Amino acid sequence: MATSTLIQFLGPGEGAATVNRRQVETYIAGGTIAAGDWVALDTGKTGADKALYVISTPAVAGRGNVAGVALAAASSGDKVDVVIGGYVGAAKVAAGTAQHVSLTTSGAAVGTALTYATGTHTGTGPCGVALTAEAGGFSEAYVYSKF
């Protein structure tokens, strides 16, 4: 079921589960996904299943089909909740990622985002922004909604 954006919760300080304007969608895992992984639509599927399944973002330059960040670990065939827009408390990022930088998954390690640089990541745009500097391989992030 799609997240409704018609009524938005505007209570500050309530925590990540009710954060203002966060959108979460449920997909099916096309492979093993770790909590905090950036995930992409599984274009290895056929037909409309390409929009139903997600996989950890592959370490391939130019992949722009990022869906969002997985909230929990999942095995192939499991349902997985994905933040497709808004706040994530722990998104996987490359070592040394600074606060306030735009993020991309183009050319990053599997399931990981790195700093987006104009001209370097051709064919893709930023998929979010780091709200905190990287600590232990993760950062608080804001995922840019694509729909």
Q: What is the mean pLDDT of residues 71-90?
A: 96
> For residue 81, what are the domain limits?
23-143
Overall average pLDDT of the 95-102 stretch: 96
Contact 76, 30 (CB under 8 A): yes
Give the CATH number, domain containing residue 76: 2.40.300
The tally of domains found in the chain comes to 1
Residue 2 within any structural domain of the chain: no
Q: pLDDT above 70 covers what percent of the chain?
A: 78
37-80: pLDDT as tens digits: 999 999 889 999 999 999 999 876 666 789 999 999 999 999 99
| 137 pLDDT higher than 90 | yes
Over residues 113-136, the mean pLDDT reads: 85
- Residue 4 burial class via C-beta count within 10 angstroms: exposed 0-12, middle 13-18, buried 19 and up: exposed
Note the pTM of the prediction, 2 decimals.
Answer: 0.87
Using 50, 70 and 90 to split pLDDT, how confident is the model at 101?
very high
Contact of 51 with 67, CB cutoff 8 Å: no
